[in-house]
């Protein structure tokens, strides 16, 4: 039985349940006779791709395996677990389906191509809303919207701060316009109108499992929706809610497959029992030891450390030697190796001027990218690995699925050293140490404080490093390599040491991170 002719899911990225603290006159009115909760749950990790993917596909992140980096550059093609768009399309070949987003990776890596979804993307939420109003004129059977600026404000000002709450109030007005457009189109009586956040935040980041990160708002309004409180609900339940509303069979629950369910408290006539999943509470993450505190890196290595960035909601260099200039938007997440971590690549990078590379030095950093990573990510360096530019003077460190590559240019040619990960390839957080030894003309790469790979290189390459450009973290020198390929990755704790790290130094560093 088709209960509604139209369903709209309006997603507000990074709102969590913070709208309870902000004036939201439009949403208040839309849901005053509907069902809602400020305590629906995001899924672990409390990150966008994992949760928008969960909503549209109807399963856990461990099942769909989508991440911010992955969906930025890989079209969604999983036929075993199709998105809502595809499930609706299969039942209704003529339906007008639309997805209007600010964060374009959703339209690349979650909504399938080739099934007639009207995909719209715009750079700010006001322009997205213009697109949405245009879509509503076509009386969509299913409309999905993602607004991104509330999350941007959370990363920038801090979640729950006035800057974040003010943006929620601004976005509330846009949601009101969308609702009014359904009224104007004469279809509101036949529309199930849903608002949901993908996650909240804590400090300047999210990704962890604190209350303000995991609890989110879910509001459902429509003819016949029970007025009052929604029971236990998880982001992934959006899929089942939409299918039920449109009268499409909900696939059977499977903890290793489709596991979206209709929460209690929304529909009068829904009586299937809700199976509460067991949630494994992620281990709390360790905070970063202060640089100068006992046991901190400053105490362990003294002034051998020339640059030290913890990426704890900040671009600060703990040694205070350098200032990083941000381009784009480097976002912080709360589930780092220590404290928070920064997301780099297509969306943001840092540039540091004035680092002296004229003597032997070492770099240590932690990387997190996708197991399915194909191609190469430019992690950092002071030149570009781009074709036609890679022989320029300087160095780059590149991450590939099965290896770390150090590329050195001397002006007219270049050389590479490649260090393989174990047989399993890249998986989870990996520590990388690279020492550039000018005395012995060697590049030494250490993976997870263990696998060591040493390559002898012509001294002309090492001597050219100091003639490269600014030190860029998160992309190439021209801030274009990752950007042009939509590549995203996360890094934690970037440390530059004077000289080559000895085995004893590496053991000390390993102990620090244990
Ligand atoms: Zn998000």
pLDDT digits (tens, 9 = 90+) for 377-425: 999 999 999 998 989 999 999 998 889 999 999 999 999 999 988 766 6
Of the listed ranges 197-201, 268-272, 462-466, the least confidently predicted one is 268-272
Give the C-alpha distances (Å, rounded to integers) separating 500 from 84, 303, 513.
53, 14, 19
Check whether residue 219 and residue 305 sit in a common domain.
no
Model pLDDT, residue 371 = 65
Check whether residue 238 and residue 111 sit in a common domain.
yes
CA distance 330 to 316: 13
Give the C-alpha distances (Å, rounded to integers) separating 158 from 46, 165, 284, 355, 397.
16, 10, 20, 30, 31
Reported confidence tier of residue 286, pLDDT bands at 50, 70, 90: confident
User: Measured in angstroms, how far is the CA atom of residue 504 from the centroid of ligand 1?
Assistant: 41
Of the listed ranges 2-11, 265-274, 308-317, the least confidently predicted one is 265-274
The answer to whether residue 267 is domain-embedded is: no
Where is the domain boundary, 185, 215, 246?
246
User: Measured in angstroms, how far is the CA atom of residue 348 from the centroid of ligand 1?
Assistant: 16
Check whether residue 194 and residue 306 sit in a common domain.
no
In SS3 terms, 87-140 reads as HHHHHCCCCCEEEEECCCHHHHHCCCCCCCEEEEECCCHHHHHHHHHHHHCCCC
Check whether residue 44 and residue 173 sit in a common domain.
yes
Model pLDDT, residue 427 = 72
Reported confidence tier of residue 269, pLDDT bands at 50, 70, 90: confident
CA distance 349 to 482: 10
Average pLDDT over residues 63-70: 92
Q: 6-12 and 191-196 as β-strands: parallel, antiparallel, unpaired? A: parallel
The answer to whether residue 282 is domain-embedded is: no
User: Measured in angstroms, how far is the CA atom of residue 304 from the centroid of ligand 1?
Assistant: 38
Of the listed ranges 26-40, 79-93, 202-216, 272-286, the least confidently predicted one is 272-286
Name the more confident of 285 and 498: 498
Give the C-alpha distances (Å, rounded to integers) separating 445 from 237, 362, 394, 433.
45, 9, 17, 6
Check whether residue 92 and residue 171 sit in a common domain.
yes
User: Measured in angstroms, how far is the CA atom of residue 48 from the centroid of ligand 1?
Assistant: 3
pTM of the predicted model as reported, rounded to 2 decimal places: 0.87
User: Measured in angstroms, how far is the CA atom of residue 404 from the centroid of ligand 1?
Assistant: 29
The answer to whether residue 217 is domain-embedded is: yes
Model pLDDT, residue 420 = 87
CA distance 68 to 57: 15
Average pLDDT over residues 109-132: 97
Where is the domain boundary, 222, 246, 270?
246
User: Measured in angstroms, how far is the CA atom of residue 201 from the centroid of ligand 1?
Assistant: 9
User: Measured in angstroms, how far is the CA atom of residue 505 from the centroid of ligand 1?
Assistant: 38
User: Measured in angstroms, how far is the CA atom of residue 235 from the centroid of ligand 1?
Assistant: 12
Model pLDDT, residue 425 = 67
Please determine, for residue 271, whether its predicted confidence score (pLDDT) is greater than 90.
Answer: no
Check whether residue 189 and residue 304 sit in a common domain.
no
The answer to whether residue 281 is domain-embedded is: no
Domain residues for the domain of 345 are 297-513
User: Measured in angstroms, how far is the CA atom of residue 288 from the centroid of ligand 1?
Assistant: 24
Check whether residue 13 and residue 85 sit in a common domain.
yes
Where is the domain boundary, 246, 277, 308?
246
Check whether residue 329 and residue 203 sit in a common domain.
no
User: Measured in angstroms, how far is the CA atom of residue 167 from the centroid of ligand 1?
Assistant: 15
The answer to whether residue 257 is domain-embedded is: no
What's 404's domain CATH number?
2.60.120.200
User: Measured in angstroms, how far is the CA atom of residue 338 from the centroid of ligand 1?
Assistant: 21
User: Measured in angstroms, how far is the CA atom of residue 46 from the centroid of ligand 1?
Assistant: 8
Tell me the percentage of the chain whose pLDDT exceeds 90. 86
Model pLDDT, residue 334 = 87
For residue 457, the tally of other CB atoms under 10 A from its CB is 18
The answer to whether residue 274 is domain-embedded is: no
Question: Model confidence over 188-236: pLDDT tens digits?
Answer: 999 999 999 999 999 999 999 999 999 999 999 999 999 999 999 999 9
Model pLDDT, residue 280 = 74
Structural domain count of the chain = 2
Average pLDDT over residues 300-329: 95
The answer to whether residue 277 is domain-embedded is: no
User: Measured in angstroms, how far is the CA atom of residue 14 from the centroid of ligand 1?
Assistant: 5
Check whether residue 301 and residue 200 sit in a common domain.
no
User: Measured in angstroms, how far is the CA atom of residue 265 from the centroid of ligand 1?
Assistant: 26
Check whether residue 326 and residue 215 sit in a common domain.
no
The answer to whether residue 279 is domain-embedded is: no
Check whether residue 69 and residue 154 sit in a common domain.
yes
What's 25's domain CATH number?
3.40.720.10
Check whether residue 237 and residue 342 sit in a common domain.
no
């Amino acid at each position: 039985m088709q209960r509604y002719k139209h369903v709209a899911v309006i997603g507000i990225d990074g709102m969590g349940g913070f709208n309870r603290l902000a004036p939201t006159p439009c949403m208040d009115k839309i849901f005053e006779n509907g069902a809602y909760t400020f305590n629906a749950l995001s899924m672990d990790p409390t990150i966008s791709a994992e949760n928008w993917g969960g909503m549209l596909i109807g399963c856990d992140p461990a099942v769909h395996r989508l991440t911010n980096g992955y969906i930025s550059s890989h079209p969604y093609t999983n036929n075993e677990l199709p998105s809502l768009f595809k499930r609706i399309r299969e039942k209704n070949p003529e339906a007008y389906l639309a997805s209007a987003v600010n964060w374009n990776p959703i339209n690349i890596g979650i909504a399938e191509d080739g099934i007639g979804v009207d995909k719209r993307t715009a750079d700010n939420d006001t322009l997205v809303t213009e697109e949405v109003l245009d879509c509503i004129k076509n009386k969509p059977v299913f409309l999905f919207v993602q607004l991104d600026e509330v999350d941007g404000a959370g990363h920038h000002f801090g979640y729950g701060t006035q800057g974040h709450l003010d943006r929620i109030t601004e976005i509330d007005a846009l949601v009101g316009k969308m609702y009014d457009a359904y009224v104007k189109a004469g279809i509101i009586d036949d529309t199930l109108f849903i608002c949901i956040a993908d996650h909240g935040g804590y400090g300047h980041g999210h990704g962890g499992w604190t209350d303000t990160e995991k609890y989110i708002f879910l509001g459902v309004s429509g003819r016949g929706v029970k007025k009052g409180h929604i029971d236990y609900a998880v982001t992934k339940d959006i899929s089942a809610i939409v299918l039920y509303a449109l009268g499409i069979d909900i696939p059977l629950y499977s903890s290793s497959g489709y596991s979206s369910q209709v929460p209690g408290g929304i529909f009068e006539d829904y009586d299937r029992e809700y199976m509460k999943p067991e949630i494994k509470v992620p281990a709390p993450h360790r905070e970063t030891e202060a640089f100068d505190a006992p046991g901190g890196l400053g105490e362990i290595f003294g002034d051998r450390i020339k640059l030290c960035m913890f990426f704890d909601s900040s671009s600060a260099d703990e040694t205070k030697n350098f200032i990083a200039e941000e381009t784009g938007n480097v976002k912080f997440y709360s589930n780092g190796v220590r404290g928070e971590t920064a997301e780099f690549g297509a969306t943001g990078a840092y540039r540091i001027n004035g680092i002296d590379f004229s003597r032997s030095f070492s770099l240590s950093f932690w990387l997190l990218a996708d197991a399915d990573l194909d191609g190469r990510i430019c992690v950092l360096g002071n030149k570009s690995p781009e074709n036609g530019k890679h022989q320029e003077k300087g160095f780059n460190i590149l991450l590939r699925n099965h290896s770390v590559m150090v590329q050195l240019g001397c002006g007219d040619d270049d050389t590479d050293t490649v260090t393989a990960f174990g047989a399993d390839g890249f998986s989870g957080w990996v520590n990388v140490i690279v020492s550039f030894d000018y005395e012995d003309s060697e590049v030494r790469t250490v993976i997870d404080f263990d696998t060591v790979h040493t390559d002898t290189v012509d001294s002309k390459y090492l001597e050219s490093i100091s003639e490269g450009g600014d030190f860029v973290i998160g992309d190439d020198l021209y801030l274009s390599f990752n950007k042009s390929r939509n590549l995203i990755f996360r890094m934690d704790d970037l440390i530059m040491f004077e000289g080559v790290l000895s085995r004893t130094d590496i053991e000390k560093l390993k102990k620090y991170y244990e």
